[in-house]
Chain A
Amino acid sequence: MSSKINQIRVQNRYLKWLLFTLVLTVLLVAATLLSLTTGEAKIDLSNLISVLRQQDSIEYYILTQIRIPRILLAFATGGALSLSGALLQGIFRNPLVEPYTLGISGGAALGVAFTIVLGLHLTLGIYILPLSGFIGALLTIFIVGVLGFLRGNSDINKMLLIGVMISFIASSIMMLLMSITTANNLHGIIFWIMGSLDEPNKNLIYTCLAAAIAGLLISYLFARPLNALLLGEEKANYLGINSKATIRILFITSSLLTGICVSVAGVIGFVGLVIPHLIRLLVGSDYRFLIVGSFLGGSIFLILSDVIARTIIAPNELPIGVITGILGGVLFIIILNRMRKKSRHV
């Protein structure tokens, strides 16, 4: 009898997850439409479809060559960064970890800075920038991984500290590079660090998109192990979960996702920290929803931030990192306040 009530309660929770997924999907569509229609060239919502039919119009060009690629990139990077944050917070059992805590962005930025200072982008073409960023990110992941968990008795907190230290070292070397290079190069480096969704190369956007979707699918397979890891590595082991393997796979997944996003879109902060917390606060910390919710939430957040970034001082454009930083910071303080009121320990 009471087990039936319980059954209903569990089913109600699935219903709640479904509802939130629908709400987020609707918001995502709304944000996409908003982003499609706002900008220097206003395109009316009612005209959207007819514009998309007129392949020779200027509006058609703006939509397909500028706005849609930006939206796709915002969808992919926002989702992937937020997902990475949720995964890393789970495996490190630390609510303050975000994709950049482990020095991945620092490594990527350093790779790009080296390329710019050496002038490689002038000889090898513009695509060397994302490539060098990705190599920098990979090197960082490799170092953190080798020092952190490949050497036997690994301690997850040690890994975190190593990541933070690598982040510091990378930013110090960056400053060194920036202090000895020309003003022109300096400008290039700073511009890259601030992040931008303006990516002319479609292939890079598709790579991001594919990686983000693949990351989402892989992560979802680990939803239950992630739930068990809430209780710690040892307890998860006793519940039949291979904690070490789960942590390794998810560490590599989230690091690669972050590395790809950073090398294409630059450093876009706060998405990976704020959005997972917001979803936790609204729906709870069950990873079976948190993974999907974080991804969709991150996508929405970044698409909206991009709309603000390119309209607030139009015709000029603010770096997207500025918007996500300010919005995310304020949002995070509000969330923390709420959490204290709910007296939850995350």
Chain B
Amino acid sequence: MSEYLNIDNIVCGYGKEFNLREVSFSIRQGALAGIIGPNGSGKTTLFKGISGYLPLKSGSIFLNNKNLGKLKLNEKAKRVAVVSQFPDNAAISVEDYVLMGRLPYREQFQFFEPRKDIELAEKYMRLTGIHKHRRKQISQLSGGEKQLAALAQALTQEPELLLLDEPTSHLDITHQVQVLNLIQRLNREMNLTVLMIIHDLNLAAEYCHYLIMMKDGALHTKGSPAEVLNYEIIEQVYDTVVVTQNNPLSGKPAVFLVSEDILNDIKARYGEIKR
């Protein structure tokens, strides 16, 4: 297998109510890939299948030629780090929280932090900029800071694959861009493979090299942002009229929404919309 992360026909889900329908895709090492799709399309189910929280009913996931399903939890945690959608909230200091990223590396009777762990936590707190708040409790941080702390913790795991579930969902545009720029930089400078769920199609287009579009529990389209984010595919998947153009600076596709009034107006003037 030449690709780095190989998702092969996986099925997982919640009982009989909702299951993925044999999703397959692969990602090369050092890619920054995004999972997009409407609410209820199976993005989070797919994510939890890859992260290992939902057991696979069939199919397999190989990361760097290792079958993730066959690894012990701590071995998996050394290879895959996960940042969940809802920021962690606990009465522990930022530095303790970041240090927890080293848990998978501890031996059974090793109760205290080795020097190396503290140095790594320090390094990644600085890299994410959260070191300024190291003594604060996690619960006292703002949404953006929590996200940075969670990233620092994930990096301290020194993973081969970083999974992010909507890292920008609760943030304003300043912090959205700040967090995504950081992820982009980590991806580029550390050659870290990143797979993230991302709701915002414009941000997905701007930052991701590769997109996986989900619909109704199945993979709909995969490819580069230019391939995936054209208006025909978006309208099929989201059942919404959109206009796409390229961002004049980055050249990446950008998606515009149109209100009902405007659409009706156009229909009244020109008849049914033809592309």
Contacts and interface: CB of A to CB of B under 8 A. Distances in A.
Interface string A210-229: 00000000001101100110
A241 B137 contact: no
Contacts of A3: 118-119, 122-123
A248 interface: no
Nearest to B90: A230
A19 to B, nearest CB: 16
Contact of B76 (A6, A230, A240): A240
B103 A240 contact: yes
Interface stretch (A52-60, A131-139, A231-239): A231-239
Of the four ranges (under 10, 10 to 19, 20 to 34, 35 or more), the interface on chain B belongs to 35 or more
B91 to A, nearest CB: 5
A242 B77 CA distance: 11
Contact of A224 (B52, B73, B106): B106
A285 B91 contact: yes
B230 interface: no
Interface of A: 2-3, 6-7, 9-10, 14, 153, 220-221, 223-224, 227-228, 230-232, 234-235, 237-242, 284-286, 288, 343-346
Contacts of A346: 91
Contacts of A344: 91, 137, 139
A235 B88 contact: yes
B95 interface: yes
Given A14-B112, A237-B73, A2 B122 contact: yes
Nearest to B15: A153
Interface string B102-133: 01101011011101001101110010000000
Contact of A239 (B89, B100, B115, B126): B100
Nearest to A227: B100
B136 to A, nearest CB: 11
Contact of A234 (B84, B90, B96, B104): B84
B46 to A, nearest CB: 16
A215 B202 CA distance: 55
Counting chain B CB atoms within 10 Å of each CB, the highest count among A3, A9, A288 belongs to A3
Contacts of B119: 3, 7
B103 A241 contact: yes
B247 interface: no
Contacts of B121: 6
B67 interface: no
Contacts of A232: 88
Contact of B73 (A2, A240, A288): A240
A121 to B, nearest CB: 45
A343 B52 CA distance: 36
Given A237-B73, A241-B103, A344-B137, A230 B118 contact: no
Nearest to A223: B111
Nearest to B140: A343
Nearest to B74: A240
A239 B77 contact: yes
Given A7-B115, A237-B52, A242-B73, 19 more contacts: A3-B122, A6-B122, A153-B15, A221-B108, A224-B111, A228-B100, A228-B103, A231-B90, A231-B97, A238-B80, A240-B75, A240-B78, A241-B73, A241-B103, A285-B92, A286-B92, A288-B112, A343-B140, A344-B137
